[in-house]
Every structure is written in C-alpha cells, then in structure tokens.
Amino acid sequence: MLREVAANNLAERVVQNPYPGRGIVAGRAADGSWIQVYWIMGRSENSRNRLFVCEGGILRTQAADPAKVEDPSLIIYQAMRTSGRRYIVSNGVQTDAIWQGLEDGAHFADTLRDWYHEPDAPNYTPRISGCVDLSGGAASLWLSILKVSPFSNDESERHFFRYENVEAGYGYAITTYRGDGDPLPSFAGAPYVLALPGSAEQIAEHFWHSLDSDNKISLAVRHIATDGEERVFIQNKHVYQGE
C-alpha cells in the first residue's frame, strides 16, 4: 500500500508536473542511512543560469555564466550546511540563519521565527527548509514551509512538520509550488511520501530523470551514514562558464 501511494505521488506531483519548483525530499535509504534530496528548477533565464557546487561540506548555488546574472538575491545561496549532527537543507539564504541558530542552541522552529516567504511578487515563493537531527537519542526529521498569508501579502504562515518514524526506503517531500501557473500556486497541505530507491547515486538518478527535462536545473543528494559521515552527489544541467 505504501509503495503504491509513493508511486502515485511521484507520478502526479513530480513526473507529470512540469513545475513543482524547488523541492526537498528527506528520509532514509533502504539501508537505513539518512537521505536529503534538493533540486532547483527555473523558467526565467536568470533562474536557469545556475548550478550546484559543494565545497567544505557546504552545498551552494552558483551562476553557470556570471556574465548573465541579472539579480543574485534569490538565486545564489547556501543550500546545505551541517551543525554538529544536525543536517540542514533549504531553498534560500535562510540556510545560514538556521545554521547560526542551531549553533547558538536554538530550536529548529525558533531559527525561522522572524523569517517570511520570498519577496518576489506576484508569486510570493514559499521558503522551504528541512533538518535531519541525529544529535539526540532518537533521530528526528523536520520540514517547514513559510508561505504567504491569505490575509496579507506582507505576512507568512509558518508550518512545521516533525517525523520520528520514517521507514527505510521512503522520505517526505515538500516543494515550493503545486505546479505551473502565473502567478505560481504555492504548495498546499502536508509533505507527501516518496520512495527513495537504492543507493544515494541511484536516488539522484531516479529524481533527476523524474523532473521535467526543460525546467530542471540542478539536483543534489546528501547521504548521511549512521556514524554521521556525509557525502553529496550532484547532477547539473549546465557547466561553469566563468574564468
């Protein structure tokens, strides 16, 4: 039953969806290790002019061709960081705020207390974030979304989801949008279950081939072993065009 649910979710929400936007999937591989998937998509030339780079254990976005950058404010950021045995992923500059908050002893939800959705009217793109916390006795998985309030474009709803029981081979997914549109419709509801088939490399291939070929830009999979050791696997559509 779970396998069927996950397969239907993949087909309807990812494969047949031309534009789920940026997405996070977090869960456990078949061997019980932890997995974080993060992908970016783009419609404009500015958004498509990106790739992933991982240096010093930090995953970040980078312009594929620096000469073509129009506005770096919402497209260039660090997407994955690590604080002790807490593994952060997000779709924007809030990654650094979460990291600093955790370093200072704050709770994951508290690190986003003063953050809002992205200021990109008329889309008002949600900020999505996640954290695998292996610092305590029992592992836990967090996902969050900060989305525009129905009452004011200047305010955000803040939704947080915490999971302690994640079956091996599955994860929870959250994306910025429900699909394509103008303006783009924000993600609605709770994170949904997807399968995480095979090794980290196979998971990367699985999602890379599931995303819309025209709109996908980059994808990264972070593998977190039970001892905390991490590896990152990257798929980029573009290659760096700078000097």
pLDDT tens-digit profile of 139-195?
999 999 999 999 999 999 999 999 999 999 999 999 999 999 999 999 999 999 999
Q: Which two tokens stand for residue 213?
A: 């070929």
Residue indicated by tokens 């490399």: 201
- Tokens 């959705």: give the residue: 117
Q: Are 98 and 109 in contact (CB under 8 A)?
A: no
Cα angle for residues 233, 146, 71 (degrees, 5° grid): 65
Question: How far is residue 24's CA from residue 91's CA, in Å, rounded to a whole number?
Answer: 8
Is the CB of residue 69 less than 8 Å from the CB of residue 63?
Answer: yes
Q: Please state, as a whole number, how many other Cβ atoms lie within 10 Å of the Cβ of residue 142.
A: 21
CA pair distance 42, 216, nearest whole angstrom? 7
According to DSSP, the residues that pair with 146 across neighbouring strands are: 127, 158
54-77 pLDDT, tens digit per residue, is: 999 999 999 999 999 988 888 999
Label residue 228 by pLDDT band (50, 70, 90): confident
What is the reported pLDDT for 243?
Answer: 65
Paired tokens of 162? 């915490």
For the cut 70, the answer to whether the pLDDT of residue 211 exceeds it is yes
Residues 6 or more apart whose Cβ sits within 8 Å of residue 149? 155, 156, 157
Q: Are 210 and 7 in contact (CB under 8 A)?
A: no
The 10s digit of each residue's pLDDT in 142-151 is 999 999 999 9
Q: Phi, psi at residue 196, to the nearest 5°?
A: -120, 85
- pLDDT at residue 209 is higher than 90: yes
188: DSSP letter: -
CATH number for 2-236 (one of 3.40.228.10, 3.40.50.920, 3.40.430.10, 3.60.20.20): it is 3.60.20.20
Measure CA 238 to chain center: 19
Instruction: Give the residue extent of every domain in the chain.
Output: 2-236
The pTM (predicted TM-score) of the whole model is 0.97
